[in-house]
C-alpha cells in the first residue's frame, strides 16, 4: 500500500488532463497569442471603420448624382404635411 493515501494504492497513476490543461492555458496566456489576438481585433476595427466610411462616401456620391428633389416631390414641399 502507498503511504499517506489512506490505504488505497494509486502510486504511479497519473492523469494527462492537468498537463494538457496547463499546456492549453499556457498557450492562451502567452504574450505571443495575446499579440496576435490584439492585432486581429485592431484589424477588424479598421475594416469596420473603413467599410462605414466607404458606405457613407458611396451614399454621398449617389445623392450628388440624383440631385435635389429626386424623390419625385419638389424640395420645398418635401418636409411639409
Q: What is the pLDDT of residue 1?
A: 47
CA 33 to chain centre: 15
Q: What would the grid cell of residue 80 be?
A: 411639409
* Residue pLDDT, tens place only, 57-81: 999 998 888 877 656 555 555 555 5
The domain spans of the chain are 17-65
Q: What is the pLDDT of residue 18?
A: 74
* Residue pLDDT, tens place only, 30-50: 777 788 889 999 999 999 999
Q: What is the pTM of this model?
A: 0.48
Q: What would the grid cell of residue 22 be?
A: 496547463
Amino acid at each position: 500500500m502507498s503511504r499517506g493515501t489512506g490505504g488505497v494504492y494509486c502510486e504511479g497513476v497519473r492523469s494527462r488532463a492537468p498537463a494538457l490543461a496547463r499546456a492549453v492555458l499556457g498557450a492562451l496566456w502567452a504574450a505571443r497569442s495575446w499579440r496576435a489576438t490584439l492585432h486581429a481585433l485592431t484589424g477588424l476595427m479598421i475594416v469596420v471603420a473603413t467599410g462605414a466610411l466607404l458606405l457613407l462616401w458611396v451614399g454621398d456620391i449617389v445623392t450628388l448624382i440624383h440631385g435635389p428633389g429626386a424623390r419625385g416631390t419638389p424640395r420645398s414641399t418635401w418636409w411639409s404635411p
